[in-house]
Amino acid sequence: MSAGGVPQGESGVHRRGLPHGQPHALRHGAFAEFECSLIRERQREGIALAKQRGPYKGRKKTLTPERAAELVQRAANGIPKSVLATDYGISRETVYQYLRQANLP
């Protein structure tokens, strides 16, 4: 440190405000972004392979097929989606997913 409290490099030149560290930081950022994209790509490939082999099936359905059919029927009769969600213990978005699978709006 100089007498004024400004950080100095080994040569005694002030470091603050000099752009020489910026390209170094940009390289690190670019490398990190590239590495993340490689990880995502490998993960997608792994999921695709697992789906082909069969063990990757996603999350188990919340409702049985019978309860899902009942939900769809009640929705077709005009019961509000929020009431259905509460009655079946699922979110409104899940209600809409079941209705989309049944081709209902």
Residue boundaries of the structural domains of the chain: 19-53, 65-101
User: In this structure, what token pair is assigned to residue 30?
Assistant: 């670019």
How confident is the prediction for the chain on average, in pLDDT?
Answer: 82
92 pLDDT higher than 90: yes
The CA distance from 98 to 63, in Å, is 9
Residue 2 has pLDDT above 80, yes or no: no
Name the DSSP letter for residue 19: G
Residue 25: pLDDT band (50, 70, 90) is confident
pLDDT higher than 70, residue 99: yes
Yes or no: say if 75 and 101 are a contact pair by the CB < 8 Å rule. Answer: no
C-alpha R_g of the chain: 28
* Per-residue CA distances from 36 to 7, 20, 33, 39, 96 (Å): 34, 26, 5, 5, 33
* Tens digit of each residue's pLDDT (9 = 90 or more) over 47-66: 888 888 887 777 788 899 99
Cβ atoms of 82 and 92 within 8 Å: the answer is yes
Residue % of the chain over a pLDDT of 90: 48
Per-residue confidence (pLDDT) for residue 94, from 0 to 100: 95
Residue whose C-alpha is closest to residue 81's, from 61, 97, 63, 96: 96
**Tell me, what's the pLDDT at 8?**
53
